[in-house]
Amino acid sequence: MRLRVTYHLACSSRLAADKARDIAFEQTVELPEGAVPPDVAARVAGRVESVESLGRGRSRAVISFDPAVVCGDLPQLLNLLFGNISFKPGILIADLEWPDELLAALRGPRLGITGLRELTGVRGRALLCTALKPLGLSAAGLAERAYGFARAGIDIIKDDHSLSDQAAAPFRERVERCCEAVARANGETGGNARYFPNVTSSPPEMLERAGLARRAGCGGVVVNALPAGLGAVGAVAATGLAVMSHPALAGAFFQRDHGIAPPVLLGDLFRVAGSDAVIYPNVGGRFTFSDATCAAINARLRGPLGTVSPSFPVPAGGIDAGRVPYWIERYGADTIFLIGGSLYAQPELTRAAERLVAAVRRHFHG
C-alpha cells in the first residue's frame, strides 16, 4: 500500500490536475517529468490518484507516494509531505492514509494511553495536568508549587514549555528539586503524581536532558515538537520516557488554504512521531480552534492506526477549571486536561488545585 495524501488546492479546477502532477514530482524527484528516466519516475515520483473539484475555486487531489521514500525518518516525512511546496500558494494537506509498513517503521508512542495510565496509576477517569510557571521563578519556587500540586492530587505536573535552562531555574537543579518535591508529596498522600520537565533543546543536549530526567525518575517529559524537530520526539520516545508534545510554532501551518490541517499535524503526525500525549489549544480558550477541529484531533490521536498505539489528547490553552466537568462530558475519560492559567488566577494555588481534583473525582466516582 502507498501513503495517500489528500491535498486541497486553491486554484481553478481547470488547473488542478497540472498542479497535482507538479506536486507529485516536486516533492520527490524535484524535476519536471521530461527530465526523469521513466523507470525512476514510475518507481519514485508521486502518483496522482484522483482530482475533483470542490467548487468555489478549490479542488481535492489525492496523491500517493511509495512509503519507502520516507525511510522511516520523521524529518524526511515532513519534507515529502510539504517541504518544497510550502513555498507554493494554496496547498493544504487535508488528510493522510497510512500504509502499515510506514506506521510500523515510525513506531509511534511507546507508552500510549495504556502506558501513561500505568505510569500515573490512573484508571477509569480523565487525567489532570498543570504547568509549573512562570518562567523567572527560582527552581525552589517551582518545586514548592510542584509539591502543592502533587499534594492536591494533580496527576501530571509539567514544566511550562518556555522553561529551558535559564539561570533562575537551571534544568538540572529544577529537575532534582521538582522530582524530590513530587516524591515527597506522593510519600505523604500515597499518590502517584508525576513531574514532566521540558527537555527541549538542541541535539545532543536534548538527549542528555532526557537521560537526566529518566535517571531522576520523572517517567515522562515535555518536548516542543516543531522547534526541536519531530525526529527529536521519536528519539526521546525511544529512551522509554513518556513524551508530552507541545504544539509551539504549529500555528504557522494552520492557514485556511495553506499548510497542514490541525488534525493531520497535531493528530496523525505528532502521534506517529512518538507522542504519548499531545497538547493543543482547546476551543473557547485564548486561541482559535473550532469545536470540530478539537473533536477531529481527539479522534486522530485515539483512533485505530495500524500498530500505532493511541495517544492522549491534552486540551489546553485557557480551559477554565470550573468547566472541566463539562469538557469531561464532551471529551471522555481518555483525555488529559491541562489547566494552567485558570488555577494561577485564583488566590490560593494549592486550594484551587484541590477543588479541581475534587470536581473531577466527583464527576467520575459520584
Residues 106 and 234: beta-carbon distance below 8 Å: yes
Smallest gap from residue 340 Cβ to a second copy (A): 7
CA distance 177 to 216: 10
Which residues within the stretch 56-85 sit at the binding site for a second copy (CB under 8 A)? 68-71, 73-76, 78-80, 82-85
Which residues within the stretch 9-48 sit at the binding site for a second copy (CB under 8 A)? 26-32, 34-37, 40-41, 43-44
Smallest gap from residue 191 Cβ to a second copy (A): 26
Nearer to a second copy, 249 or 364 (CB): 249
Grid cell listed for 322: 470550573
Residues 269 and 108: beta-carbon distance below 8 Å: no
Smallest gap from residue 363 Cβ to a second copy (A): 26
Q: Applying CB under 8 A, does 188 fall inside the site for a second copy?
A: no
Residues 302 and 290: beta-carbon distance below 8 Å: no
Nearer to a second copy, 64 or 224 (CB): 224
User: Which amino acid appears at position 106 of this protein?
Assistant: L
Site string for a second copy, 90-119 (x = CB under 8 A): ------------------------------
Which residues within the stretch 157-176 sit at the binding site for a second copy (CB under 8 A)? 160-162, 164-168
How far, in whole angstroms, is CA 158 from its chain's centroid? Answer: 15
Smallest gap from residue 32 Cβ to a second copy (A): 7
CA distance 182 to 218: 10
**Could you count the other beta carbons within 10 Å of the beta carbon of residue 202?**
10
Q: Could you say which of 345, 361, 362, 364 contacts a second copy (CB under 8 A)?
A: 345
Strand partners, 246: 224
How far, in whole angstroms, is CA 297 from its chain's centroid? Answer: 10
Q: Which stretch binds a second copy (CB under 8 A): 94-102, 230-238, 301-309, 320-328?
A: 230-238
Q: Applying CB under 8 A, does 186 fall inside the site for a second copy?
A: no
Q: What is the full DSSP assignment across 274-311?
A: T-SEEEEE-TTSSS---HHHHHHHHHHHHS-BTBPPP-
Q: Could you say which of 17, 54, 122, 135 contacts a second copy (CB under 8 A)?
A: 135
Smallest gap from residue 118 Cβ to a second copy (A): 26
335 phi and psi, to 5 degrees?
-140, 145
Helix (H, G, I), strand (E, B) or coil at 1: coil
Site string for a second copy, 280-309 (x = CB under 8 A): -x----xxxx--------------------
Q: Could you say which of 195, 254, 270, 327 contacts a second copy (CB under 8 A)?
A: 254
Q: Could you say which of 203, 217, 240, 332 contacts a second copy (CB under 8 A)?
A: 203
Nearer to a second copy, 131 or 182 (CB): 131
Nearer to a second copy, 117 or 145 (CB): 145
Smallest gap from residue 103 Cβ to a second copy (A): 16
Residue that the C-alpha cell 485564583 belongs to: 346
Residue that the C-alpha cell 521519536 belongs to: 234
CA distance 310 to 108: 9
Closest CA to 35 of 47, 20, 49, 45: 45
Closest CA to 221 of 251, 179, 188: 179
Nearer to a second copy, 59 or 200 (CB): 200
State the number of binding residues for a second copy (CB under 8 A): 88
